[in-house]
């Protein structure tokens, strides 16, 4: 599997501010994804981070609220913009495909726990 790190691991933010979360992988991967996990809930896909082009967002998520970058095959960022308490969640980066990785097997980072006051 790939080794995935996320920064920050947790943060407490004021409403109206923005936070950028970084995801770094130790090897080149084909696919990178961003998920949200609200307290006590399952995982919801926010978007697929595409290298060199705009991210593909799922229904209910928009680029203005969750801008995503993916400058290369090992790194991506997710920004949570103009935050409100409803954005308090764990944000997870995941990866799939690449040398040494099987397609259809998705691996997750440790997550970023965000609390918005």
Choice between 47 and 83, CB closer to other proteins? 47
Measured distance CA(115)–CA(13) in Å, rounded: 6
- Least distance between other proteins and beta carbon 69 (Å): 20
- Least distance between other proteins and beta carbon 29 (Å): 14
Site residues for other proteins per CB under 8 A: 1, 4, 33, 41-45, 48, 58, 92, 94, 102, 104-111, 113
Choice between 14 and 104, CB closer to other proteins? 104
Measured distance CA(100)–CA(57) in Å, rounded: 27
DSSP string over 53-110: S--EEPTT--TTTS-EEEEETTEEEEEE-S--GGG-EEEEEEEEEETTEEEEEEEE--
- Least distance between other proteins and beta carbon 108 (Å): 4
């Amino acid at each position: 599997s790939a080794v995935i790190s996320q920064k920050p691991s947790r943060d407490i933010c004021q409403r109206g501010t923005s936070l950028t979360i970084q995801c770094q992988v130790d090897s080149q991967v084909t696919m990178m994804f961003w998920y949200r996990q609200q307290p006590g809930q399952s995982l919801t896909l926010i978007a697929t981070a595409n290298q060199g082009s705009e991210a593909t967002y799922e229904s209910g998520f928009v680029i203005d609220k969750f801008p995503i970058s993916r400058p290369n095959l090992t790194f991506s960022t997710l920004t949570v913009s103009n935050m409100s308490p409803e954005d308090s969640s764990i944000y997870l980066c995941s990866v799939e495909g690449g040398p040494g990785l099987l397609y259809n097997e998705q691996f997750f980072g440790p997550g970023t726990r965000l609390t918005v006051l």
